[in-house]
Every structure is written in C-alpha cells, then in structure tokens.
Structure 1
Amino acid sequence: MRPAAVTAVPPADGLGGGGVQYELKLDGFRCVAFARGDRPPFLQSRGGRDLAAEFPPIAAAVARLPEGLVLDAELVAWRGGRFAFGELLHTRRARAAAPEVALGLIAFDLLALPGRDVRRLPLTDRRRLLLGALADVPPPIQPVLATTDRAEALEWMEQLAPTGVEGLVCKAADSPYRPRGGGRAWVKYRRSDTVDATVRALAGPPEQPHALLLELADGRVLLSAPRLTPAQSHEVAEAARPHLGPAAVDPEHGPLRPLTTPLRAELHLTGQPPTATYVRLRGD
C-alpha cells in the first residue's frame, strides 16, 4: 500500500469513521522483509529489488525471525542523534555502514505470520499481531511508534522533528492491506513542502548533469531548476550511470539522456506554473 499525500493531519473520524492509527513517518527505504527459514531473507524494495546484499546487518536480523513472517517496514540509518537518509546511500555503495552509523528496520505492518496470510485483517488486528511477533525481537528490528490519539501524534511529530521525523502516516484503523493501492485508507502528511517525482532523463553531460527531466505524480513533466549544484550533479551521475540510455532530443526540453530504469527524487515545488527544485534522490 502507498499512502496518498495530504496537506493536513486527518481527524480521528477522517478516514471512514472507524478510527485512525497515526504513525511516525520516517526517512528511509521502504522494504517488505520476508523471513524464509533456511533460505536467505528477501528485502524487497518498492521497485522489487532485493536489498539484502546491500544491508547485511538487516538481512541477518530478518534471518533470525520465524520462517514465514513478512513485515512491511522502513529501512533507516541513524547517526549523531538523527535519522540520516544519506547514510543509506553511502552504505549501499560501500556495502557496509560506517562505525558511527546504526541501521534499523522499523516495522509498521504485518503481512503474514508463519503459515498465515493476515492482509485481510483490519489494521488494528494486524498491529496487535505485529507487536506480539516482535515482543522479544531486539534491535535493529523494531515496531514503529503509533497511536490512535491525534493530539498525541501531533505532539510526537513536533517533539521528534529534531531527529529527522518527516511527519505522520495516518491509516484507517479498520483497513485491510491492499498491495496495489488502498485509495484514501492510508495518507501521509509531511511537515515540509517536498514532493516525490520520477526522474526520466538527465540534461547535460551524463557525467555532470545540470538538470533532471521529472515526471510528477499527476503526469506533468518538467525540468528541474535552478542548475544542480556540483555535489548534487555528482550524486545523480553516480546513481544514473548504470541506467543511461542512448542520447535523445526532446522537442520541448532539448538534448537528454533518458534512463532505462527511472530513479525517484524529492523536490520543492513553488509557483504556478511550478518550478521544481531538486532536493535529493530518494534511493528506493
């Protein structure tokens, strides 16, 4: 399930009348973790890739879970008292986290118990089963902080903002787990005005791009502006290198290097028509 973005935290009766569960929105890689007994664990990214080889401590922790347990979770990094998304990208490239970086898998939903698919159960029941399944499981696997009290959730969000908590994910308490959507049963509220977009192509030399061709969630396509900083350009070039397609000329945006596999990026949108200012790659 993928939460829809909203501009305000819904009230307790705002997602269908059955109550709302409010969870901290964390800054990491979305990951469905499959414990598979004697077989290696599978850490499925949003794009379907296995992240296990890139994050061995998390894979090892999932391997110790009962066979058949499946968690929907966020893979996060922690450094210096803050969630550190950039460390996930560094760890992915280096295949090991720096000594001062802690990796974690924060579980927010339970999809299966050994021998039992629980996705049709209401979220309230899945939360109870999740807490039971992880009751004796030590870090780096932990359940996400959640409450049904909107005021408490708002207080948590403000108190924990200095740690890098992005906002809240709000879910209908009676909602089943629908893998291909979920409508408005799950929504996300961000404290900032950032949005996610798909990177379709690079503008400029592929080893030093100066802009990105971006597709927004509503289908609009535009170039990022202003020019990427040298650090941003390097980050994008490194990530895009394995996915570069042949050079092409777009009738509206000029010479481009399309990507064979799209990347995800975070943007600031301002004005009408919108200006998309690149913030960073999402990585997941």
Structure 2
Amino acid sequence: MRPRTEAGIPAEDALPGGVQYSVKLDGFRTVAFALGGRTVLQTRSGRDIAAEFPGLATTLTQALPAGLVLDGEICAWADGKFAFTELLRPDAQRRAAGIVVAYVAFDCLAVPGSDIRDLPLADRWKLLRTALRDLAPQVQTVLATTDRAVALDWYETLVPHGVEGLVCKGLGSAYRPGARPGWIKVRHAETVDARLVGVIGSERRPDSVLVEFDDATRAQTSPRLDPVTAGRIAAAVAGLLGPEVRDEDGSPLRPVREGPLVEVRVRTGRQATVRFVRIRDDDAV
C-alpha cells in the first residue's frame, strides 16, 4: 500500500478502526520474503536488492522463519540520524565507515502457512510484534502509537534525527497493494517530482542539476550535491548528455535528453530553494 499525502495529522477516529501513527523514515521501501535459507528484499519496482545489503540479508535469513513476509524499509543510521544517501554507497564503504543498516518493518503480510493481508492492521500489527520480538537490532518494528498527542510530539521533535514526518493508517484496514485510502502521510516539507533536464559542473561529478516541473518552469538545485549523489546522477545520465553550453553564471551546463524523473524538495519564501532528494526509481517511499 502507498499512502496519500495530507497537510495535517488526522484525529484518532479519522480512519477505519482508529488511527495508528508511525514515524516516516527515509529509506528503501522493500518487502522482505523469508524463504528459508535466503531472504528476498523486493523493491516496488520488482528488483531484489538483497545482494546490495548482504549483511542485512544474512541477518534476516537467520532471524526470520520461512514463510514470513514483511513490509518495511531498509534504513541507514549515521551521526545520530537516518541518512538515506548512505544507502547509495557500496556495502564495503558503508561497513568501513561504520554505517549501521537495519530493516524497519511496519506491516506483516504473511506468517508461515497463511496470507494475512485481509486481516485488519490491528491484527497484523500484533502478529508483526510477536514475530520480531527479541530479534537482533538490525531487525526492528517501526515506532508507532495510537495516541495523537504522542505522535504530534514525535512529529515536532524527531526531525533532527532524520524522521520526515508521520504515516497514519486505519487500524481496521486490510492490506491492498497500490491502494491509498487507508494510509496517509504527513511530511514537514513535501517533495515533488520533476524531470532532470541538465547537469551543471563536471559531467562525472556534477555540482547541481537543472530540473523541469510539470508547468514547464525550470530551476537549479541547491546546495551542492554530495559526492555519492553526484556519482549516482552521473551514472543515470551517461549517454544522455547533449553538447556543453554555459548557464547564466557561466558554469558549464550539459543538457540531458529524456532524463529521468527525480524527486526534489521545494521551499518557498525569501530563501526559496529546490533541493535534490533522489532519482525517482520507485524504491523509496
């Protein structure tokens, strides 16, 4: 299931069966299939990324019973906060830097021998908590509550730790792939999709990108891209670059033909900025 975006945190009785409020993390949304002997980590685009997180996949294989299916996110923890860009680094680099990677589950889709997607979330949540009780720190249940006041406190205080907002779900709702009515997300700063139409700076390590919105307006992202993100962008646009021109500041600009969709965070006001978030590959929530 994918949540729809709302501006405010709903009341405790706003969704069927009452509301469960959970923190919204910034990671790779994956369904974990425990197959007995190995674990598949399937993204929304259908890729199995277990090989990109071998340590985590091994932990899940050892910890989970065959037949358990979870919905959750692969998250990285660095410098006291969740750090999405660390997920983009090779596994060897993450381990050398001491980056902690964990699977944070927020739903249970199957237990050994039974598909439980038709059960209400309240029942699935109990089964999830039971299944993940006393497991390794790399396998956790998401922080969740049914108390709106507690959720509001999390929403206001956990931003420095990389928590983007809240996901609010109806406790009486069944799990319906692709459906939106029963889940709501509330973010501090909403992101939008745009088309990547140019890279500014080195084509191998761009400083920023030029994006085009649905209304045909264009904007340059800021601040400067970090090395990991710059490398990922360079790989995504390889072979799509047009001849070099100069932008308004005289920096080298390479137009991108049929560039990928990207996710950006737009802040308005006197300090208006367009911040690059990620390439939109449907693997992140």
Q: TM-score, normalised by structure 1?
A: 0.81
| Map of 2:249 onto structure 1 | none
* CA–CA separation in structure 2 for the residues paired with 1:229 and 1:276: 8
| 8 Å CA contact 2:211, 2:221 repeated in 1 | no
Q: Return 5+ residue gaps in structure 2 as ranges.
A: 244-253
Distance in 1 separating the partners of 2:183 and 2:167? 7
Matches within 5 A, 1:148-167: 148-167=146-165
Shift of 1:78: 1.1
Aligned pairs for 1:52-63 (under 5 A) are 52-63=50-61
5+ long unaligned stretches in structure 1: none
Q: CA deviation at 1:167?
A: 1.0
Aligned to 2:75: 76
Change (3 A) 1:224 1:235: farther
Deviation at 1:105, TM superposition (A): 0.7
Residue from 175, 179, 193 that aligns with 1:197: 193
Q: Contact 1:31–1:46 (CA<8 Å) still a contact in 2?
A: yes
Task: Judge conservation of contact 1:211–1:224 (CA < 8 Å) in 2.
Answer: no
Equivalent in the alignment of 1:241: 235
- 1:111-150 CA distance string (max 9 Å, x none): 1111111111100010000001111322200111111111
CA change 1:73–1:221 in 2 (3 A) is: farther
Alignment of 1:169-180 (within 5 A): 169-180=167-178
> What letter corresponds to residue 186 of structure 1 in structure 2?
W
What is the DSSP-based 3-state SS (H/G/I as helix, E as strand, rest coil) of the residue aligned with 2:220? coil
Distance 1:234 1:53, change over 3 A: closer
Residue 120 of structure 2 corresponds to residue 122 of structure 1 = yes
- 1:99 & 1:127 partners in 2: Cα distance? 34
Question: 2:142 aligned with 1:144, yes or no?
Answer: yes
**Correspondence 1:183 to 2:180:** yes
Moved over 6 A (4+): none
Of residues 43, 46, 53, the one that matches 1:45 is 43
1:167–1:190 Cα contact (<8 Å) kept: yes
When structure 1 is superposed on structure 2, of 105-114 and 237-246 the one drifting more is 237-246
- Partners of 2:70 and 2:208 lie apart in 1 by 39
Supply the RMSD in Å over aligned alpha carbons. 2.9
2:89 corresponds to 1:90: yes
State the Cα distance separating 1:280 from its structure 2 match.
2.4
* TM-score, with structure 2 as normaliser: 0.81
Deviation at 1:14, TM superposition (A): 1.6
Q: Distance in 2 between matches of 1:221 and 1:122?
A: 40
1:26 matched to 2:25? The reply is: yes
User: CA shift at 1:226, angstroms?
Assistant: 2.9
Q: What's the CA shift string for 1:173-217, capped at 9, x where partnerless?
A: 11111112x2321010112x23142545445675447534456xx
Among 104, 107, 110, the residue aligned to 1:106: 104
